[in-house]
């Protein structure tokens, strides 16, 4: 493992609840009611996919200018909520501190647009990240592999040498498609198993050595005994998980 590529929403910060509020506000503005099923289908998605889902659900025409305006309005609303402070997911800040101390390059890989991600970084701390890739800076956002391919490129590394950390089915699919082994930390939604995925219940208590072990196990570089010692999924998610 030569680098760690981290998702933001739901992985490092428990911001999915904030997105819940913003999505509900958008639906209220558009004259609809957000259902849990529709909200679940947007978790981890890029702005374009989210707006397509919303407009389909509300039976609205896919008028590009209207959809773009809705996305801008929701991101402005969310930014105001971000400015009030973002709660850390359990163990996330400690793990970033440990990666920094160990001089392991870390990139932030998010579907969140750059303008909004910059506001989040003011709360998280941009000093943790050697690179930041946002959803509006690549040809296609997650679940396409583009964000992870770009992050590895910025670090000058093969994606296979990087461990991705993700909480959503969309993000895990993107990282796996890019060739990254994936440490899955489910938050709002269950994440299916996959050949390049290892699941834990929380980042709490994980050390840099654990990440090396996970990457080695998934990349085929560890022995059976070493794989048996990988950190296991805890029985419960953190108390603040939706």
Beta carbons within 8 Å of 11's beta carbon, 6+ residues apart: 89, 92, 165, 166, 167, 171, 185, 187
The rounded distance, in Å, linking the Cα atoms of 240 and 161 is 32
| 157 alpha carbon, distance to own chain's centre | 20
Cα pseudo-dihedral 68, 71, 72, 75, rounded to 10: -160
Residues 15 and 238: their CA atoms lie apart, in Å, by 14
User: 123 burial class (0-12, 13-18, 19+ CB within 10 angstroms)?
Assistant: middle
The yes-or-no answer on residue 136 being catalytic is no
CA atoms within 13 A on the CB side of 127: 5
Q: Among this protein's residues, is 9 annotated catalytic? A: yes
Could you tell me which of 200, 188, 135, 190 has the C-alpha nearest to residue 163? 200
Among 207, 210, 204, 205, CA closest to 227: 210
Q: Considering the candidates 9, 14, 49, 146, report the single residue annotated as catalytic.
A: 9
Residue 160 CA to residue 152 CA, distance in Å, equals 9
Strands 131-133, 106-109: pairing kind: parallel
Strand 197-199, strand 106-109: pairing = unpaired
List the catalytic residues: 7, 9
């Amino acid at each position: 493992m030569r680098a760690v590529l981290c998702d933001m929403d739901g992985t490092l910060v428990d911001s999915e609840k904030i997105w819940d509020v913003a999505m509900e506000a958008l639906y209220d503005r558009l004259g609809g009611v957000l259902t849990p099923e529709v909200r679940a289908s947007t978790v981890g998605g890029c702005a374009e996919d989210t707006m397509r889902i919303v407009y389909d659900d509300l039976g609205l025409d896919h008028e590009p200018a209207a959809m773009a305006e809705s996305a801008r309005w929701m991101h402005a609303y969310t930014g105001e909520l971000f400015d009030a402070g973002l709660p850390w997911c359990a163990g996330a800040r400690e793990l970033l501190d440990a990666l920094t101390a160990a001089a392991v390059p870390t990139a932030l890989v998010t579907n969140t647009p750059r303008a909004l991600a910059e506001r989040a970084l003011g709360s998280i701390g941009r000093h943790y990240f050697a690179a930041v890739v946002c959803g509006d800076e690549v040809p296609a956002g997650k679940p396409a592999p583009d964000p992870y391919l770009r992050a590895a490129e910025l670090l000058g590394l093969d994606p296979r040498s990087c461990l991705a950390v993700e909480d959503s089915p969309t993000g895990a699919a993107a990282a796996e498609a890019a060739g990254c082994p994936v440490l899955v930390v489910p938050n709002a939604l269950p994440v299916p198993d996959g050949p390049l995925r290892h699941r834990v219940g929380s980042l709490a208590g994980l050390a840099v050595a654990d990440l090396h072990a996970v990457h080695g196990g998934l990349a085929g570089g560890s022995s059976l005994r070493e794989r048996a010692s990988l950190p296991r999924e805890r029985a419960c998610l953190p108390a603040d998980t939706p």
